[in-house]
Amino acid sequence: MKIRRLLYNLLLAIASVAVFFVIAEGLTVLLWDYKLQGSHVGVVIDKGDKRVVHEGIEYVTNSLGLRERELDRRPKAQKTILVLGDSFVWGDGIPVESLITYKLEKRLSGLGYSIEVVNGSGGAGNAESEYQRLIWLTPIYRPSTVIVFFFTNDILEASDVVDDSKLLVAKSWRQNIKEFLRSKSLFFAFLYYLYKDRIVEIVGVPQSLLPPDYFNLSDSKPGWKSFKDYALKMRDYCNQNNVSFRYVIIPTLTCLNNRYPYKEMHDKLKQFFSDSGIEYFDLFPVFRPYRPSMLWVNLENSHWNDLGTSLAAETLVKWKSFLIGLER
């Protein structure tokens, strides 16, 4: 009798949980206007003259493989700003009109400046690849100013930058289950995004879920040392070619409050830039008043959206000497 009673209670509990999830799934479908998507996958086009439509966004490259105008269609501007960076500059998930380079050029033009702003991003990379693009693109575009947009994974070694498993701790069976449930159940997806968008803001991101290379930065960490070495190489190359050189720090769009997990990195970066004579601008205070999801492309893609690039552009054009390099 005891075993039968135990089995009855177990089956009743399982049935109750199942009924709860069925009801919860149904209510979520009725009340939450969201279409299930798979995990976001970025797109990098490594050849010129290509047109790709990915996740509803059109990506078109010129003959150099840049998400930029063709060389013979460049505006006749008095100055050129070359912008380097990773997928944020490339514009992962956003149309051309939302690119940071597009918005900077448009705003500077509205202020009466004849300035071309060139998107020199390759879509992914770190300081080493940005240095290589600098020495490749500078003779072509002859910029008066070079601005490199730094993002967190710029301190990873080159082989790790395009490896998604390095952006979080290597994917475990728990993450695989999470991704499966998120793609199959709208209710689970709702709970996940509630956590990602709201709860994380309150409790913070457990450091155990973040790459150890992002913390306790020192020259003993190859990625951090490599970043500094190539940042200095870019500075020296620009100085030798009479080009102004700047860095802009893009914060990771999560916990934009006192629980922001990468404060140490920002402090280390700013100290390094100051010691190295590199002008910089940290966008964290600009984004801090906003809930991170307000700045995301969507719930699956936490690159910056049109609001994010607009805020950055509006802020940077206020510092015209920073952008244009008026001292040159």
- 72-103 confidence digits (pLDDT tens): 888 888 899 999 999 999 999 999 999 999 99
Residues 4 and 144 in one domain: no
DSSP string of 162-221, one letter each residue: T-GGGTSS---HHHHHHHHHHHH-HHHHHHHHHIIIIIHHHH---GGGS-GGGSS--TTS
- 9-62 pLDDT tens trace: 778 778 777 777 778 677 766 777 766 665 666 666 666 777 888 778 888 999
Q: Residue 261 pLDDT more than 60?
A: yes
Residues 212 and 143 in one domain: yes
Residues 20 and 57 in one domain: no
Q: Is residue 70 part of a domain?
A: yes
Residue range(s) defining the domain that contains residue 16: 1-31
Query: If pLDDT is split at 50, 70 and 90, which confidence band does 169 have?
Result: very low
Residue pair 217/268 in contact (Cβ under 8 Å)? The answer is yes
Q: How far apart are CA 101 and CA 81, in angstroms?
A: 9
Q: How much is the pLDDT for 162?
A: 44
Q: How far apart are CA 294 and CA 197, in angstroms?
A: 9
Reduced to 3 DSSP states, what percent helix, strand and coil does the chain have, rounded to the nearest 5? Answer: 50, 10, 35
CATH number of residue 77's parent domain: 3.40.50.1110
DSSP code for 64: T
Residues 24 and 145 in one domain: no
Q: Residue 70 pLDDT more than 50?
A: yes
What proportion of the chain, given as a percentage, has pLDDT over 70? 82
Reference 147, options 104, 208, 97, 93; nearest CA is 104
Q: Which 3 state secondary structure label does DSSP give 253?
A: coil
- 203-226 pLDDT tens trace: 777 776 677 788 888 888 888 999
Residues 214 and 242 in one domain: yes
